[in-house]
Amino acid sequence: MSNIEPISSPIPYTRGNVEPLLHEVVHALDRLLEDDEATVIDLASLPFGPGELDQLEERLGIGELTAELNALGQSIIRETAYPGVWWLEHRNTEGDIVGRYIEITRAPEILMSQDADIGAGRAQLGDNLERAGPGNENGADNEPRPN
Amino acid sequence: MSSNQFDLESKRLSIKEPEIRYDKQGDLSDEERVQKAMANFAKDFGSTAAVYLDSCIHCGMCADACHYYVATGDPKYTPIWKLEPFKQAYKREVGPFALIYRLLGLKKKVTAEQLQEWQHLIYDSCTVCGRCSLICPMGIDIASLVAMARNGMFEAGLVPHELHAVAERAEVDGSPLGVTPKLFEERLEWMEDEHEVTINIDEEQADVLAVISSIEIQKYPDAMAATAKILNAARESWTFRTDGFEATNFGMMSGNVEWQKNTSMRIIDAAIKVGAKLVLLPECGHAYMALRWMGANIYGKPLPFKVQHISEYLADSLNSGKLKVKKVDKSVTFHDPCQISRRGGATQAPRDVLKHLCTDYREMPGGGDYNWCCGGGGGVVTILRADKLRYKVFKLKMEQVEATEADTLLSSCSNCRQNFDDCQSHYDWKYTAESLLELVAENLEEANA
Amino acid sequence: MKDIPTLGDILQARGVSRRGFLKYCSATASLLALPPAMVPRLANALEQTRRPSVIWLSFQECTGCTESLTRSSSPTLEGLIFDTISLDYHHTLQAAAGEAAEAARHAAMEENNGNYLVLVDGSIPLGNPGFSTIAGMSNYDMLMETVEGAAAVVAIGSCAAFGGIPGANPNPTGAVSVRDLIKDKPVINVPGCPPIPMVITAVLAQYLTFGQLPELDRHGRPMAFFGQTIHDRCYRRPFYDQGKFAETFDDEGARKGWCLFKLGCKGPITYNACATMKWNDGTSFPIEAGHPCLGCSEPGFWDKGGFYNAVSTGDIGSGKALAGAAAAGVVLGATAAAMSRARRKKTMKEG
Amino acid sequence: MNLLEFARGPALQVAVYIFIIGSLWRLLGILWLQKKRDFSERRNGRKIRGALKVIWNRAFTAPVFREATKHARFMGYTLHIGLFVTVFLFIPHIVFFKGLIGIDWPGLPNNVIFFVGVITVGVGVAILIRRMTHPVLRLISNFDDYFSWLVTLLPVITGLIMPIRFGVRWETLLAIHILSVALLLIWIPFSKLSHAFLLIVSRGTTGAILERRGART
């Protein structure tokens, strides 16, 4: 069996989805600048040929900012080489990709702290403070102290 | 199929409706006329005609080949349209799906009214020149179908009067122009004196039986002398026969199969009687079709002699050196008679003759096999009511001839010449159609005499 | 139903953040082929969703559909969906057996009368009740009994949806589909042999989130997943358009990944989401592996001629039949000609 | 049995049977009529040669008629070449023919076929307009002409719709396409469309006769 060479995924044609999709991104950037309208492109809804997705990722490049989100598995939120164009990859707890998107926006919604989480966090912080008590203010010397 | 078929174009029609009358012979009922028309249309009906009638795709290209359509722009002159009632009858009565057509009533019976209307199209406006047969992308020989349709029309008694009269006279008198054997003999004797040439009449035995057209006897008698001169010069054993001299066949032109047969059989019988090896046809187009290509079929077996048109004979004799001619010093063009060239296949012969005869031969543009018909063939020249149309159509021919700028116009058909003469005087035209045969005879070199 | 927690409650209890939930929602929207703009609405709906009871019936089937579903990596988002439903009966997966299992089914039916979902895989034999039974009960009886109080039925796999392989010619068991039997309840078909696991969960998710039947095509399949052909979404489509085809499985064209139309690909007449959702957790789908689509999500896919016969083939009948036609033509032609000859003779006599 | 199965199964079969029966019926119904022997002395040539010559050369109108017939010829050639290309060089069709007769041949890319198909339909429409407006064609046309036009162009049109779809399912369009072909097959033998095979017979007949006379063929 060892003499059978696996056929690597060929990039068999150039007339694929990458070019038109990039044009779509350009139009989306126009809309963002002119009307402040954000666009989300769900890459799962497009029929990519083998290798095309990598091609797309390569064409968009890597920009200044990459964020990692840990919620129900890892997610990567990365600004591409083109500001305002974001590459989002959601994985589940197994590490399988469950969604890929290009967002054309100033900052993807998911980067924002969510009100529900802020509320929960605030409550948590309040609880913590209460539990610690006022007398305990100097108790933890090694804790960083906000100025 | 009422007259409203013609309303489409009545405004552009050069011939006004009232002039299109139709003639009737005999006192048959309409029913009988239709019955006879169809029966006799079907008489010669075989797979050949069936193939043709089944193959038309209604492309209309035949119109562009027909001088009547080209000259008038009137769609009713579309060649295949001239056969419409016969196509209808074929599909209904003979075609492979005839039963279906009849049972479902998809094709109506042809009516007497229809046939009367079509008389104009089948006789007045068709010279059976066969130009349309050459354009048809389906290869339909439309001209042969018109000839068949005429058979039906004749039996239905729906022939133009003049043509019928001429044909009847040919049947009764043996000549369409009333040339009796006695008159023929007189004319020959006159020519003998006039041209100082020996003319053989009624020899018991001869290798060559020469026949002649009544038109020549009456209108172009020099042709008889010319024929004699040439045959004498070629040292042929030849003769004219008073019991078989008439080459024209108005039975064929008008559509009477019986009369056609009688006319042809007179020549065939005479030829057999004298033991002829060759029957030499005169300058007459339809005579060639009648005897050269239809004669044997009328006889019912191969003819025991060869049949040649005079131009073929001249070509052979000049090519072989049997005859010699002086060169004529003028430019010449040649009008091909349809039945001899296009339909008959003897296109090359006159050109061979002219190669020997003249230095400046000029082909007409689109000439030769695709030549415009003179417009007088197929009996049309006899039909009075067709005159206006005939003159109109002749303009095409005039243009074709004039384009050559030749000094002399030649032809090898007395019927063509007759039409040329008539149109010439109508238009006061500069060209006279002259006889190829006579020009050869005038310029014979007596070297081997 | 008052004590049934909503999905929002469940997630909160598990400490899933709002961000996590949003991520889950966009993944679900993607799964449901909803436009990304629908995510907020979806989030809202999902939060309110309550955990419904689900009864899974397996009839004449191969367990492939269950395999397909459970073999997808777990825990996953699909897994989460299953956390949101209460799978009260599935005789392959449940621990209980025998009478206890049947008792669980009856209990779930009684408790959730009018609200539970019935999932069916496998076809139902009508030929003889004994062909397939569970706990001594024929498939037909069990289906009818269970569906009685159901809110909707989902037919999972081509067997349940269309009769599938048991129903293939000559159909010895008289197998029929769920839709052949259930006329008074909504039936959603999720065909495929097996169906794409994500499609199964997505259909459930959609039903759960929006609480209504998705838009179905004429074969009862959700348009969201079965609205387009494999051919239309296939990455090899440009080759079809360019006229580049693999002629055999090991020729240059096959190696270059050209269109498999000539090798019998049923992509043009097969409606499914394989080309976009793909298999094995989004790895690939059969065409990507170099094999033509079999058309497994179409009715009667087993009986549509050979898998390797191109779609654009026709049947003009046997040589014998053609020869028969020719002979008939000859006879008719000869008759017509003879009739015409006879008619001609007759007319000529009369004329 | 769904529409597609019906179309490519029984419908196509019946159409092919009718096509065969009708064609032979028509052809033999003509050819087996009485034939007259021609006793005249032939000038030259062989009948077969003349027949073949005319079968070939009537596809190309004689030069003298070309100017007058240029529109008809342009339309005719375009239609026939268009039909040939779309029918025989479209790869799914080739696959279809291979399924029937076991041989195949190279085809053209689909977009080329589509383009040719659009031109074919365009010319078809022009042909119809010409038939309805040209005095000669209007006069000599009958039901056969118009219905044959429709039946000829239907498969092309239904074929062209397939990639566009208009929201209709692919297999439904394919079924309609095949049904339109079935209609065409049924109609051919009983209509002027049988010129597809009659042209050989009629051109051949004239060719044989004219060649025998040594006349222009």
Which residue has better confidence, D196 or D4? D196
Whether B and C touch (3+ CB pairs < 8 Å), yes or no: yes
Q: Considering C158, C192, C225, which residue would you say is the last residue of a domain?
A: C225
Closest CB to C329: pick one of D5, D22, D92. D22
Tokens of D64: 């003298």
Q: Among C330, C335, C344, which would you mutate to test the B interface (most chain B Cβ atoms within 10 Å of its Cβ)?
A: C344
Q: What is the distance in angstroms between the Cα of D174 and the nearest Cα belonging to chain C? A: 8
Lookup: tokens for C245: 């085809």
Work out the pLDDT band at B430, boundaries 50, 70, 90: very high
Neighbour order of strands in the sheet with A66-70? A39-42, A97-104, A85-91, A74-79, A66-70
**Structure-block tokens of residue C167:** 């129903």
CB contact under 8 A, C339 and B98: yes
**For residue C83, what pLDDT is reported?**
64
Give me the pLDDT at residue A137, please: 54
ipTM above 0.90, yes or no: no
- All chains having 3 or more CB pairs closer than 8 angstroms to chain B: C, D
B272, β-bridge pairs: none
- The region of weakest confidence among B100-104, B231-235, D201-205 is B100-104
Assess C351–B contact: CB distance below 8 Å, yes or no: yes
Q: Do residues C57 and C191 both lie within one domain?
A: yes
Question: For residues B309 and B284, what is the distance between their CA atoms, to the nearest angstrom?
Answer: 8
Higher pLDDT, C210 or B331: B331
Phi-psi region of D215 (alpha: psi -120 to 50; beta: other; left: phi over 0): beta
Asked if B6 is an interface residue toward chain D (Cβ–Cβ < 8 A), one would say: no
Winning range, highest mean pLDDT, from A142-146, B369-373, C127-131? B369-373
Residue C170 is given by DSSP the state T
CB contact under 8 A, D35 and B48: yes
Domain presence at residue C81: yes
- Give partners of A (≥3 CB pairs < 8 A): C
Strand (E) positions, B302-402? 306-309, 328-335, 358-362
State the residue range of the domain holding C258. 230-303
What's the pLDDT score for residue A145?
Answer: 46
What's the CA gap between B86 and A109, in Å, rounded? 85
Contact between chain A and chain D (3 or more Cβ pairs less than 8 Å apart): no
- DSSP labels, A23-42: HHHHHHHHHHHHH---EEEE
Secondary structure of chain D in HEC code, one letter for each residue? CCHHHHHHHHHHHHHHHHHHHHHHHHHHHHHCCCCCCCCCCCCCCCHHHHHHHHHHHCCCCCHHHHCCCHHHHHHHHHHHHHHHHHHHCEHHHHHHHHHHHCCCCCCECHHHHHHHHHHHHHHHHHHHHHHHHCHHHHHHCCHHHHHHHHHHHHHHHHHHHHHHCCCCCHHHHHHHHHHHHHHHHHHHHHCHHHHHHHHHHHHHHHHHHHHHHCCCC
Mutate to test the interface with C, among D14, D86, D88, D95 (most CBs of C within 10 A): D95
* pTM given for the model: 0.81
Identify the domain boundary among C279, C303, C327.
C303
CATH number of the domain encompassing residue C213: 3.40.50.700
Using the beta-carbon criterion (under 8 Å), do C351 and B155 form an inter-chain contact?
Answer: yes
Q: What is the C-alpha to C-alpha distance for residues B104 and B86, in angstroms, rounded to an integer?
A: 19
Q: How many CB atoms lie within 10 A of CB B149?
A: 28
Place of tokens 């002699």: B305
Name which of B42, B97, B99 is nearest C347 (Cβ-Cβ): B42
Among A7, A54, A92, most C C-beta atoms within 10 A, so best to mutate, is: A92
Q: Is the pLDDT of residue B14 over 70?
A: no
Q: What is the pLDDT of residues B247-264, one digit of tens each?
A: 999 999 888 989 999 999
Q: Does a structural domain hold residue C163?
A: yes
**Strand, helix or coil for residue C294:** coil
Say what the pLDDT of residue B15 is.
Answer: 41
Give the pLDDT confidence score for residue B413 in this predicted structure.
Answer: 95
What are the residue ranges spanned by the domains of chain D?
45-213
What is residue A8's predicted lDDT score, i.e. its pLDDT? Answer: 45
> pLDDT for B117-175, tens place per residue?
899 999 999 999 999 999 999 999 999 999 989 988 998 899 999 999 999 999 998 89
Q: Does domain B3-159 have CATH number 1.10.1060?
A: yes
Which comes out higher in pLDDT, residue D4 or C5?
Answer: D4
List all residues 6 or more positions away from B86 whose beta carbon is below 8 Å from its beta carbon: B41, B53, B110, B145, B148, B149, B152
* Final residue before a domain boundary, out of C303, C320, C336: C303
Evaluate if residue A10 carries a pLDDT over 60.
no
- Rg, C-alpha atoms of chain C: 27
pLDDT at residue B238 in the model:
96
Instruction: Give the mean pLDDT of A1-15.
Output: 44
Q: Which of C26, C229, C284 to probe by mutation at the A interface, max A CB count within 10 Å?
A: C26
List Cβ neighbours of D152 (8 Å cut-off, separation of 6 or more).
Answer: D83, D124, D184, D193
Q: What are the Cα distances from residue A124, in Å, to A119, A130, C15?
A: 8, 10, 12
Say yes or no: C78 and C204 in one domain: yes
User: pLDDT in tens for each of the 351 residues of chain C?
Assistant: 446 677 777 777 777 788 888 887 888 787 777 777 778 887 887 777 777 788 999 999 999 988 887 766 544 545 655 666 778 888 877 888 888 889 989 998 998 898 898 999 999 999 998 999 998 899 999 999 999 999 999 999 999 999 999 999 999 999 999 999 999 999 999 999 999 887 887 777 777 777 777 888 889 999 888 988 899 888 888 888 888 899 999 999 998 889 999 999 999 889 998 988 888 777 789 998 999 999 999 998 998 878 998 887 777 777 888 888 899 999 998 988 888 888 777 766 665
Secondary element (H or E) of residue A125: helix A115-132
Q: How many residues does chain D have?
A: 217
Could B96 and C337 be called an inter-chain contact, meaning their C-beta atoms sit closer than 8 Å? Answer: yes
Mean pLDDT across chain A = 80
What's phi and psi for C136, nearest 5 deg?
75, 5
| Peptide bond preceding A6 in cis form (omega within 30 of 0) | no
* DSSP 3-state of C220: coil
| Mean pLDDT in residue range B392-408 | 95
Rounded to whole angstroms, how far apart are CA atoms A37 and A104? Answer: 9
φ, ψ for residue D36 (rounded to 5)? -100, 140
- Work out the average pLDDT over D143-168: 91
For residues B281 and B210, give the distance between their C-alpha atoms in angstroms, rounded to a whole number: 6
D167 touches chain C (CB under 8 A): no
* Fold held by B174-315: Glutathione S-transferase Yfyf (Class Pi); Chain A, domain 2 (1.20.1050)
Domain count, chain C: 2
pLDDT at residue A135, as a whole number: 58
Contact call for A101 and C26, based on CB within 8 A? yes
The answer on C284 and C212 residing in a single domain is no
pLDDT of residue B7: 43
Domain coordinates in residue numbering, chain B = 3-159, 174-315, 324-444
Q: Does residue C239 sit in the same domain as residue C221?
A: no
Please state which CATH class domain A18-111 belongs to: alpha beta
Please list, in sequence order, all residues whose beta carbon lies within 8 angstroms of the beta carbon of residue C7, skipping any fewer than 6 positions away. C46, C47, C48, C49, C50, C51, C84
Report the CATH number that the domain containing residue C248 is assigned in CATH.
4.10.480.10
Lowest mean pLDDT among B83-87, B362-366, C195-199: C195-199
